[in-house]
Structure 1
Amino acid sequence: MESLNPATGDVIDTFDEDDESAVDEKLQRATDTYDEWHRQPIEERQRLISNAADVLRENKREYAETMTAEMGKPIESAVSEVEKCAWVCDYYAEHAAEFLQDEHIGTEPDVESYVSYEPLGPVLAVMPWNFPFWQVFRFAAPNLTAGNVGLLKHASNVPGCAMAIQEVFEEAGYPDGAFTTLLVGSDKMEDVIADDRLAAVTLTGSEPAGRAVAETAGSHLKKTVLELGGSDPFVVLPDADIEDAAKTGARARCINSGQSCIAAKRFVVHDDVYDEFMDEFAAEMESLTVGDPMDEDTDIGPQAREDLMNDLHEQVEESVDAGATVELGGEPLDRDGPYYPPTVLTEIPEDSPAAREELFGPVASVFRVSDVEEAIRRANDTTYGLGASVWTQDKRRAKEVAREIEAGMVFVNELVKSDPRLPFGGVKDSGYGRELSEHGIHEFVNEKTTWVSDVSHSEGGVE
């Protein structure tokens, strides 16, 4: 398994893939570790996740450079990603005991009845390359602290990140087997998911990958959480602060070099402010610096792989051939590495890729609408339902529009973002289940009902 620098094409390192016996050994070690780990007091599990936060902060530059070298993320963004990972560890170190305490429910006078939240066992996380630390830690922090153990199958182009994350937990003092990286290809996942020792699976990735994982897990009656693709609308209404919307919109489209499921991808702009927004938005997009991801001044680095950039450009070309207009960008940059410039498309035909597919790169699709109802229809005219951003200074209208949008998250006058304090996830083809917050830590636990009576009751009952 090779680790390649997308900016230079150089081989960073090579890793031996785990063979069948190595995978079996890691699964067994995780199972054995779980037997002891889930009996540890919650205070000990909280102490260790707090230690992990310390390890992340102490080594944040090193981890950031590993990310940037392997997948091209601008270094400033990579440092912020490590800091956010430390934040999610801090969050569960502080709140996990509260979230997992027994919930007492009043039933009969002589009965103590309650719900306890108990771990399930080894949980497999299949994770993508675009936020190679954050997407792992938003799984690991709540689930390890809940008493589960984690197995990571990371994307094959970021093995260095995968090993570094395992080292974070080792340095934090976790027992061997509490968090384990499997260096394997996707073709091995069906057997791993089917293994009786595995309790559950979570995946962040593409819709086809999600369907495959859900099908295998479902056939073995294993719980899954899926966070899949997105084609998030960014709705600009007539009374929006256009300057703020345009500036934030450019950042929302191009964060992580445009490679984010929750990036703003379809800009739905009311006719009354369309021209003004377009002028400012195009200027903001054009002002972004494309360059060496290790340079602190770079806003957009290379796409993570050459084939990914080629796929993106093919979508742009097909959209233009169908009738879309290129307002900015639209061609790979003439330099070494898979660099794609900030691109803006308008006059987009209904059935073109820019309207129907997720464009995973710095390409914005802009649509003009005549009223709020059309804006809502356009926002919902997608198979995806991850996030949405709405821009208006009318709070009442904002709440009304937010309720009508089919998405797992709606942010008003802000870009869509993940936050440890809030549940994260989507609907429709963007998946199901939630990560983060109290909701996230409850996904992979047994919500066990317990009834303790002072006296015996001989009466029968029905389900």
Structure 2
Amino acid sequence: MSQSLKTFSPIDGSLYVERPYTSSQSIQQMLAAAKEAQDTWKNTSVRDRAIILSNCVENFASKKDVIVDELARQMGRPVKFGAGEVNGFVERASHMISIAEESLASIKIPQKEGFTRYINREPLGVVFTIAPWNFPYMTAVNSIVPALMAGNAVILKHATQTHLCGERMVESFVEAGLPKDLFQVVVASHQSAAEIIQSNQVEYVCFTGSVPGGTAIEKAALGRFIGVGLELGGKDPAYVRSDADLTSAAENLVDGAMFNSGQSCCGIERIYVHTDVYREFVDAFVDTVNSYVLGSPLEAETTLGPMVNTTAADFVRRQVLDAVGAGARALIDPSHFPADKPGTPYLAPQVVVDVTHEMRLMTEESFGPVVGIMEVSSDEEAIALMNDSEFGLTASVWTEDVDAAIRIGDQVETGTWFMNRCDYLDPALAWTGVKNSGRGCTLSSVGYESLTRPKSYHLKTAG
């Protein structure tokens, strides 16, 4: 095994970041230092924590220009869109800070003569966050800032592809006054990460990644009796009803499918369209996809950058070829995107029709700039197809009928149900999934529940 972490840029395959792995001895020292820092931090008032962390977030945002460039070089996000990652980080962090005092307040119990009773929310200790590369700041913040606000310390292991993002966060927070050792980044292999989970110094694990990765996390935590939050894969569907605003639906669903080169756990990967508007919708969708520009993420005009690596791009290429071989039709001519080059991460977007659920493209997570579109004849058919998946992260309906949207949403197996929007996390709402999309919750007041433990006070008063 390599003795160092290496990040190769998808732009040209060059080595961009290299760091030696943190030794086992140093990891133990980090964990001990984190616990010591947390012992003091937990006694800091929520209000004072909010002041410090607000300064941390502000300092992080001030580095936007540097962060945008680093994102492009690490994982291919076009510079045109890089600022959105910083803005999303700030939005989520600021909301979780703003609701912390109320969310973490003691739970009052109705009075009972002769007794004082209440439930406190106490911090867990050290939280271990394992963050992914595809939205390296916006996913990490979901657990990091709430964990710190709740009085915990945080050890962060960032993905190999975006390790520099972890360093940038820690640097920004420490510069802004966060106590030393309270938030640290570790350079860890999969084995080292498992050893951290198995140590008796970590009280909660927050993981965002693949289903196999989530399985490995659960195995590592087996017998520890600690909390594990898992945000895993998705094959998120959309349903376009006959009464939808087709122009808006096409524009927003293309964005939901193609943003970040489709590398989003809650990106749109399959679309079901009512037969009455099917042809019109598909035409509008294809026209919008063809307006995208594939190229270097460092170029201002680029709206679609490379995928994270050639392996990921080839996986999507094979899904499309398999579908076409089984009778589907690919509607996008790759020659319209001159930067598309087989054997590289540069992959033209694709729209595939005449698909069925017998095809991998409609059931297996693609995580790339491709979407399958199916024609349906009723709400009931659309519901059945949306639920025909091992995943359940988000789903959306496009309609002018709110009552119908709610009725359909009540029957769809998903963590978040959208009407006339998609691929967005509102930090005031619980971010959660069902089935193989994972378990647990981040964001909203509910997100604080997994980062604290209840402690009951049952006091019998004199006399």
State if a TM-score over 0.5 links the two structures. yes
Q: Once structures 1 and 2 are overlaid, which stretch shifts more, 39-48 or 266-275? A: 39-48
Q: 1:39 aligns with which of 32, 37, 43?
A: 43
Which stretch shows the higher mean deviation, 231-240 or 348-357?
348-357
Q: Does 1:91 align with 2:98?
A: no
Tell me which residue corresponds to 2:33: 29
Query: Is the Cα–Cα contact under 8 Å of residues 60 and 173 in structure 2 kept in the other structure?
Result: no
2:430 equivalent in structure 1: 423
Q: Post-superposition shift, 1:336?
A: 8.7
Distance 1:433 1:166, change over 3 A: same
Q: Is the 8 A contact 1:16 1:183 kept in 2?
A: yes
Partner secondary structure for residue 442 of structure 1: helix
Pair 1:307-2:311 in alignment: yes
How many residue pairs get aligned? The number is 456
Cross-structure match for 1:405: 412
Q: Which whole-Å CA distance do the structure 1 matches of 2:67 and 2:52 have between them?
A: 19
Range that drifts further, 308-317 or 436-445: 308-317
C-alpha distance in structure 2 between counterparts of 1:254 and 1:109, whole Å: 61
Please report how far the alpha carbon of residue 27 of structure 1 lies from its aligned counterpart in structure 2 after TM superposition.
1.3
Instruction: Indicate yes or no: 2:327 matched with 1:323.
Output: yes
Deviation at 1:350, TM superposition (A): 2.2
Q: Distance in 2 between matches of 1:355 and 1:58?
A: 41
SS in 2 for 1:281: helix
- Read off the aligned partner of 2:294 and give its amino acid letter: V
Cα offset, 1:111, TM superposition: 2.1
Pick from 345, 349, 354 the counterpart of residue 352 of structure 2. 345
Aligned-partner Cα distance in 2 for 1:245–1:433: 30
Could you tell me which residue of structure 2 aligns to residue 167 of structure 1?
171
Partner letter of residue 374 of structure 1? E
Contact 2:50 2:97 in 1 (8 A): yes
Distance 1:139 1:178 in 2: 14
1:31 to partner: Cα distance:
1.5
Secondary structure at the counterpart of residue 269 of structure 1: strand
Which whole-Å CA distance do the structure 1 matches of 2:294 and 2:372 have between them? Answer: 20
Contact 2:351–2:373 (8 Å) recurs in 1? yes
Q: CA deviation at 1:455?
A: 4.4
Residue equivalent to 1:133? 137
Q: Tell me the secondary structure at the aligned position of residue 33 of structure 2.
A: helix
SS at match of 2:351: strand
Residue in structure 1 matched with residue 452 of structure 2 by the alignment: 445
Counterpart position of 1:48: 52
Asked if 1:260 corresponds to 2:264, the answer is: yes
CA distance in 2, matches of 1:424, 1:349: 29
Give the equivalent residue in structure 2 for 1:68: 72
**How big is the shift at 1:355?**
1.5
1:371-386 pair list within 5 angstroms:
371-386=378-393
CA distance in 1, matches of 2:23, 2:37: 21
CA distance in 2, matches of 1:411, 1:330: 31
The yes-or-no answer on 1:278 pairing with 2:285 is no
Letter of the 2:155 counterpart: L
Q: Identity, % of aligned pairs? A: 31
The structure 2 residue matched to 1:334, chosen from 331, 337, 341, is 341
Is the contact made by 2:269 and 2:362 (CA closer than 8 Å) also made in structure 1?
A: no
SS in 1 for 2:273: strand
**Secondary structure of 2:140 counterpart:** helix
Q: Deviations over 1:37-57 (max 9, x none)?
A: 111111221111101121122
- Equivalence map 1:182-331=2 (5 Å): 182-329=186-333
Partner in structure 2 of residue 17 of structure 1: 21
What's the secondary structure of 2:346's corresponding residue? Answer: coil
The residue type equivalent to 1:54 in the other structure is: E
Moved more, 13-22 or 135-144: 13-22
- Which amino acid in structure 2 is aligned with residue 73 of structure 1? R
Deviations 1:230-254 (A, max 9, x none): 0111110111111110111100101
Could you tell me which residue of structure 2 aligns to residue 368 of structure 1? 375
Question: What is the TM-score of this pair, normalised by structure 2?
Answer: 0.95
Q: Which residue of 2 aligns with 1:82?
A: 86
Counterpart of 1:439, as a letter, is V
8 Å Cα contact 2:60-2:169 kept in structure 1: no
Aligned residue number for residue 460 of structure 1: none
Query: Residue 294 of structure 2 contacts residue 340 of structure 2 at CA under 8 Å; is this kept in 1?
Result: no
User: In 1, Cα distance between the equivalents of 2:432 and 2:190?
Assistant: 23
Aligned residue for 2:276, secondary structure, equals helix
8 Å Cα contact 1:7/1:337 also seen in 2: no
Distance 2:324 2:25 in 1: 50
Structure 1 residues without counterparts, runs of 5 or longer: 457-463
- The 1-side partners of 2:433 and 2:236 are apart by 11
Deviations 1:306-337 (A, max 9, x none): 21112221222222222222112579812894
Q: What one-letter code is carried by the residue in structure 2 that aligns with 1:124?
A: F
Aligned partner letter, 2:440: G
Q: Does the aligned pair in 1 maintain the 2:356–2:374 contact within 8 Å?
A: no
Aligned to 2:395: 388
After TM superposition, the structure 1 stretch with the greater mean CA deviation from structure 2, 334-343 or 317-326, is 334-343
Contact 2:57 2:173 in 1 (8 A): no
Q: Is the CA contact (8 Å cut-off) linking 2:310 and 2:343 kept in structure 1?
A: no
CA distance in 2, matches of 1:437, 1:201: 18
When residues 335 and 65 of structure 1 are mapped into structure 2, their CA distance, relative to the original with a 3 A threshold, is: farther
Q: Confirm or deny: 8 A CA contact 1:246 1:284 kept in the other structure.
A: yes
Describe the SS at the equivalent of 1:126.
strand
* Preserved contact between residue 409 and residue 416 of structure 1 (Cα < 8 Å): no
Give the Cα separation in 2 of the matches to 1:349 and 1:41: 56
**CA–CA distance in structure 2, aligned partners of residues 218 and 406 of structure 1:** 28
Find the residue that maps to 2:290 and give its secondary structure.
Answer: helix
Task: Give the 4+ runs in structure 1 shifted more than 6 A.
Answer: none
